[in-house]
Structure 1
Amino acid sequence: MESNNGFFNQYGGKYVAEVLRRPLDELEVEFKKAMADPEFVKELETIQRDYIGRETPLLYAETATKLLGGAQIYIKLEGLANTGAHKINNAIGQCLLAKRMGKKRIIAETGAGQHGVATAAACAKLGLDCTVYMGEVDVRRQQPNVSSMEMYGAKVHAVTSGSRTLKDAVNEAMRDWAANPDTTHYCLGSALGPAPFPDMVRDFQSVIGKEVKRQCAERNIKPTALIACCGGGSNSIGFFAPFIDEKEPRLIAVEAGGIGPGIGENASRMTGNTSREGILQGYKSRFLLDDDGQALPTRSISAGLDYCGIGPQLASLGKTGRVEFTSALDKEALEAVKFFARNEGVLFAMESAHAGAEAIKLAPKLGKDKAIVVNMSGRGDKDIFITCPVFRPVEWKQFLISELERLNDAKDIHDAELM
């Protein structure tokens, strides 16, 4: 399952400037040492249990199963992990490793904000300085997460270059790391980038799949399929990891179908018609690229899936057929949010709702003796600025107007007190 010198068949590698070769080589050596050190592993497991709240539950979605009339649906509730998503698994692992290496400062990129929140929280827990790069577009649509990052003490930089989304946040983080390699560790949030990041992130996130495998065995569940959303791929590869070398179950990754198949309308790297092999941001994989090899614009209602590339291991597994790729449209993801909220009392994040949408499609096609497990990689509290304008447009507009009036009144009162 591990890479071969940083490659998964033809994908992967370490395509970086010379200034980053040394910190990447050092990171690879120290990661392998740490994972072979029982004391490090024990400390990590203790933090996973006492701080993250592992293990997370595996919920039988009884009502959803009955309504869909097919396979039994189970939901892995990663949204119940501390900070509200799976991202904390990797953030804690990398920050603990960085502290062991003597690094004092952590930088991170973030799209939907969950990796930024997780990294900021991990740094607060472990006593490390934290800086997060986030595209200006994502800052606007994910203000609750920006607020949380700052509450944990992180400095959030809004990236105004390029498309002002996740791709550009990654670029800025890489530039920072290249300028400060001796004091700084780049806590990359997904299973992509130059080696050894794809191996590291997968291994730290594999706790999800290991728990699912154990929980299913304890309850005599033999899943026909595992379903996860897929942007860069951290939740999906962690979810799939213990099953990759087995023939079953089916492993299904769901990309962002956005609003349609056209250029700039989606973020479908494995299922879209504009995807091609290329080298970007330090690794070789499949990307949405133009004829000159430049990243094309992407679109998704979910900031965490709005990325032009995919992790190299997932690209390789897609090419061999071990992982099946599909996509869900924005409107399908929104319907999945509503379906699982009203019928199971579980509020999916917009990213995770893409996996939920695929479960809604797949379950009725399978027999009642079959089972599928959906990874709810995060919960949807963070998405109120996205979902409320759709589900409650009038009330949401009135709320924002009243809040603006309240803030203006408070400012007027404050200004008057200072006079």
Structure 2
Amino acid sequence: MSYQVNKKGYYGEFGGAFIPEMMHPNIEELQQEYMKIINSYNFRQDFIDLLKHYVGRPSPLYFAKRLSEIYQTNIFLKREDLNHTGSHKINNTIGQILLAKSLGKKRIIAETGAGQHGVATATVCALMGIKCIVYMGALDVQRQAPNVKKMRMLGAEVIPAVSGNQTLKDATNEAMRDWINNPVDTHYIIGSVVGPHPYPDMVARFQAVISEEIKWQLDEQRGRELPDRVIACVGGGSNAAGAFYHFLDSEDVELIGVEAAGKGVDTNESAATLTLGKPGVLHSAKSVVMQTEDGQIIEPYSISAGLDYPGIGPMHANLFATKRAKYLWATDDEVLEAALQLTQLEGIIPALESAHALAALKKIDMKPEEITIVNLSGRGDKDMETYLNHFGY
């Protein structure tokens, strides 16, 4: 069984491009050109060079000794938090800005939740001298204020989305409207493995550098390329897609995604899509979506702005449906506890999103000889106010 996208843009029954007529030119251009461009020699050289000399890759694979002692096993952290701009998001924006330049685009738009993708997009636009507009839910503008200031300092225009519950879904809606109105000169840098084909595949390919590095780094440190399991948080799912990518066909490697349960899956304040959702179309792709009986989107909730999304990437929907990957969930309280544990055991303050992956460690059985990789997708600078308010420091 192939877990990769097929020629029509589907992962099993999920994916595709359910787009309005006015978006056809944009999407068709990408579908026809993206593989040619990203497989070209010049693109590969530029991408690898920027990841190394600008982003700071490879990111370390760190053996968390004290955390491992607590769980009596071997836990490694893939340190995406050490990338330039503080998360995995920069891997994708470097790839997409190079693609946009190859297509001759003069203007970039993006959506952002936690602000990390917005900062990463604003960063590469500053690097390349291209105009940047970032749509962000008005609520997220308030709760992720440091990232909004960074985007503006980088020269981006940040436009608050005031519809819906003013979070990531609403920012995505506004960005798509902009793209429909500006089809010729604008490229939309989607930040996760969501949206119409080819975005889920394209973003996964740019993030696949994570699992590519894990394999040789683990071989270097432990004499084996394959861990026993890989754990990553999942909202739309790009950091998990990157961490899973090179292990998809290695059935012996357990893949675990962790969704945001918010205040609990039995409350009305959650974002655990695969637990609560059902098949549907959101943002131009078929996936699993949190929706009412008559198909209206249920507003999600999570303490982490980056996981506050009522859908999931079609790649993950298919991995869930085929049982290739297991998807757990973690509540806000479990996440805060896991974040504090890592901080005080290893001196690493994780992003709230990444802390969801850490919270899964208490929910799984790990043998002493096993190796578990946790993808530490981002650092906690942006979440300090939430942490300080909760812990009372």
| Structure 1 and Structure 2 fold alike (TM over 0.5) | yes
What root-mean-square deviation, in Å, do the aligned CA atoms of Structure 1 and Structure 2 show? 1.0
Residue 235 of structure 1: which of 235, 239, 243 is its match? 239
CA distance in 2, matches of 1:306, 1:22: 30
CA distance in 2, matches of 1:22, 1:313: 24
Give the deviation of 1:27 after TM superposition: 1.1
Give the deviation of 1:141 after TM superposition: 0.5
Tell me, yes or no, if the aligned pair for 2:194 and 2:283 is still in contact at 8 Å.
no
Within-5 A mapping of 1:282-361: 282-361=284-363
* Structure 1 runs not aligned, ≥5 long: 396-419
**Residue type of the alignment partner of 1:155:** E
**Within the alignment, does 1:252 sit opposite 2:232 as a pair?**
no
- Equivalence for 1:398: none
- Equivalence for 1:366: 366
**Residue type of the alignment partner of 1:59:** Y
Distance 1:2 1:218, change over 3 A: farther
CA distance in 2, matches of 1:262, 1:173: 32
Give the deviation of 1:367 after TM superposition: 1.9
Tell me, yes or no, if the aligned pair for 1:231 and 1:310 is still in contact at 8 Å.
yes
CA distance in 2, matches of 1:262, 1:63: 34
* Higher gyration radius (CA): 1
**Within the alignment, does 1:32 sit opposite 2:35 as a pair?**
yes
Residue 100 of structure 2: which of 73, 92, 98 is its match? 98
CA distance in 2, matches of 1:113, 1:262: 28
CA distance in 2, matches of 1:329, 1:4: 37
- Equivalence for 1:414: none
Tell me, yes or no, if the aligned pair for 1:59 and 1:74 is still in contact at 8 Å.
yes
**Residue type of the alignment partner of 1:203:** R
- Equivalence for 2:230: 226
* Aligned partner of residue 274 in structure 2, secondary structure: coil
Give the deviation of 1:36 after TM superposition: 2.1
CA distance in 1, matches of 2:256, 2:53: 31
4+ runs deviating over 4 angstroms: none
**Within the alignment, does 1:189 sit opposite 2:191 as a pair?**
yes
Residue-by-residue CA offset, 1:25-57 (whole Å, 9 max, x unaligned): 101222111122111100110001011110000
Within-5 A mapping of 1:388-399: 388-392=388-392
* Structure 2 runs not aligned, ≥5 long: none
Identity across matched positions, percent: 46
Tell me, yes or no, if the aligned pair for 2:343 and 2:350 is still in contact at 8 Å.
yes
Residue-by-residue CA offset, 1:58-103 (whole Å, 9 max, x unaligned): 000001111222x210000000000000000001110111011110
**Residue type of the alignment partner of 2:238:** S
**Within the alignment, does 1:50 sit opposite 2:53 as a pair?**
yes
- Equivalence for 1:68: 71
Residue-by-residue CA offset, 1:167-203 (whole Å, 9 max, x unaligned): 0000000000000010100000000100110010000
* Aligned partner of residue 271 in structure 1, secondary structure: helix
Give the deviation of 1:271 after TM superposition: 2.1
**Within the alignment, does 1:19 sit opposite 2:29 as a pair?**
no
- Equivalence for 1:201: 203
Residue 114 of structure 2: which of 112, 124, 129 is its match? 112
- Equivalence for 2:148: 146
- Equivalence for 1:262: 266
How many residue pairs match? The answer is 388
Normalising to structure 1: TM-score of the pair?
0.91
Give the deviation of 1:2 after TM superposition: 3.1
CA distance in 2, matches of 1:107, 1:248: 40
Give the deviation of 1:263 after TM superposition: 5.1
Give the deviation of 1:223 after TM superposition: 1.6
Residue-by-residue CA offset, 1:344-389 (whole Å, 9 max, x unaligned): 1111100000001112433xx3221111000000000010121110
* Aligned partner of residue 193 in structure 2, secondary structure: coil
CA distance in 2, matches of 1:281, 1:358: 29
Tell me, yes or no, if the aligned pair for 2:265 and 2:275 is still in contact at 8 Å.
no
Residue 159 of structure 2: which of 157, 162, 179 is its match? 157
Residue-by-residue CA offset, 1:137-179 (whole Å, 9 max, x unaligned): 1111000110111111000001101111100000000000000
CA distance in 1, matches of 2:74, 2:44: 35
- Equivalence for 1:378: 378
Tell me, yes or no, if the aligned pair for 1:336 and 1:360 is still in contact at 8 Å.
no
**Within the alignment, does 1:9 sit opposite 2:12 as a pair?**
yes
